[in-house]
Amino acid sequence: MSLPIALVVGIAAGGATLLAAAAVLLALWCAARRRARRNRNSDTGSSDPSTLVEWGKGGRSSLAPEPEHQVARQFSLEDLVQATKNFSDANIVGAGSFGLVYMGLLLDGTVVAIKRRVGAATQVFADEVRWLSEIRHRNIVTLIGYCQEGGLQMLVYEYLPNGSVCGHLYDTRKGSATRLEFKQRLSIAIGAAKGLNHLHSLDPPLIHKDFKTNNVLVDENFIAKVADAGLVRLIRGSDDAGPSHGFSNSVYQDPEVQSMTQFSESSDVYSFGVFLLELITGREAASLIPTDSREYLAHWMEAHFSSNELIDPRLAGNFTAEGMKELVGLAFQCLNPSSRRRPRMRLVATELDRILETEMSMTTFMGDGTAIVTLGSQLFTS
């Protein structure tokens, strides 16, 4: 790396005055280099208003750049026993394909989510965790570290206090207080899209393979983050080779995918389309079509375009007809039965950004409640 010409000339000329000037130039040059390096490492700006919201008092901004390189922290079993009060049932916050999930409090005051399963210690597992822990993005749940002791394998993640989008989207037990407005849903979709797009932009690309609404978490400011990135690789091995034992035929699964080796960026896009459909309907996609049905969700959407079953009735009065039409159209594109006809995640994120920007400008200019429709049949008659 070469120094600026002015600095070289200043040093060569000698003299206290020139040396002082050279020192100032050196300081300015170093500061400029640091700013440029931070700009490369941080996520690009967007019209997503959620990215402008700061974390809680004393916290950091969501726009704060991440360090260039992160090393997975290796915890001892004792560390995690203390953090979870000996894995108390009271600390269980969920369960998934990797096992039970516990909330834990580390000695340094960090609140974490700990996933635990029975498993022998392997170098492959440790290497994979180290690689996954280097993935840092504001819309991806950070993998902090791991533990392999006592016949257990454990993963330690950052903890997101508002949990999964599921609990706010179709958990009616919590009442209307958790109702997600249309612009909130768009903002959440943008965060999830940017998280997936970042995974796809890695070299080599990381295919999620298990993207679903349950794997979209929200922090205290409802900024969305994609969870369990790379978890399928940890469960099955880094090469994902071998028979498809335990291969699940989930409603989120691309109908073109018949084995683990066939997953692609496009199959993640299909899963994202199911996620958008749930944001639109406010219902679990599995409840929309019979479990034994071979009907495509895209066909279900097409059949319900003009009915009142498509749009979540809780959204009545807080979306524009144009914004909803465009979101429905985008979900329809993502759910195309043909993988070749689906958009890339980069384009999906860009389109969602545009939809939200337009929605905000229209409702700000005209006021919420203007040009609003409440019936699905009114959406698709023009």
Of the listed ranges 52-56, 160-164, 191-195, 305-309, the one predicted with least confidence? 52-56
Look at residue 120 and tell me whether its pLDDT is greater than 90: yes
Indicate if the pLDDT at residue 88 is higher than 70.
yes
| pLDDT confidence tier of residue 165, bands split at 50, 70 and 90 | very high
Instruction: Give the tens place of pLDDT for each residue, 314-325.
Output: 998 889 999 999
Q: Which two tokens stand for residue 312?
A: 């979540």
Mean pLDDT across the stretch 20-27?
Answer: 50
Q: Quick check: 340 pLDDT over 90?
A: yes
Higher pLDDT: 13 or 112? It is 112
Asked whether residue 54 carries a pLDDT value surpassing 80, the answer given is no
For residue 204, whether the previous peptide bond is cis, meaning omega lies within 30 degrees of 0, is yes
- The answer to whether residue 307 scores a pLDDT higher than 60 is yes
Could you tell me the two tokens for 284?
């679990």
The number of angstroms, rounded, from the C-alpha of 329 to the middle of its chain's C-alpha atoms is 22
Sheet harboring 99-105: ordered strands across?
A: 73-74, 143-149, 152-158, 111-118, 99-105, 92-96
- The helices-and-strands tally (H runs, E runs) of the chain is 12, 8
Kindly report the average pLDDT of the chain as a whole number: 79
pLDDT per residue over 199-211, tens digit each? Answer: 999 999 999 999 9
Per-residue pLDDT at 25 exceeds 90: no
173's tokens: 């037990």
Q: 163-364 — its CATH code?
A: 1.10.510.10
**Structure confidence at residue 28 (pLDDT):** 53
Q: What is the pLDDT of residues 62-72, one digit of tens each?
A: 334 444 556 88
Band the pLDDT of 381: cuts 50, 70, 90: very low
The catalytic residues are: 210
More confident residue, 43 or 168: 168
Q: What span, in angstroms and rounded, lies between the C-alpha atoms of 198 and 201?
A: 5
**What's the CATH class of domain 73-158?**
alpha beta
Which sequence spans correspond to the domains of the chain? Answer: 73-158, 163-364
Percent share of the chain, pLDDT over 70:
70
For 39, the token pair is: 């700009």
Of all residues in the chain, the percent with pLDDT exceeding 90 is 57
3-state secondary structure (DSSP) of residue 28: helix
Q: Is 212 annotated as a binding residue?
A: no
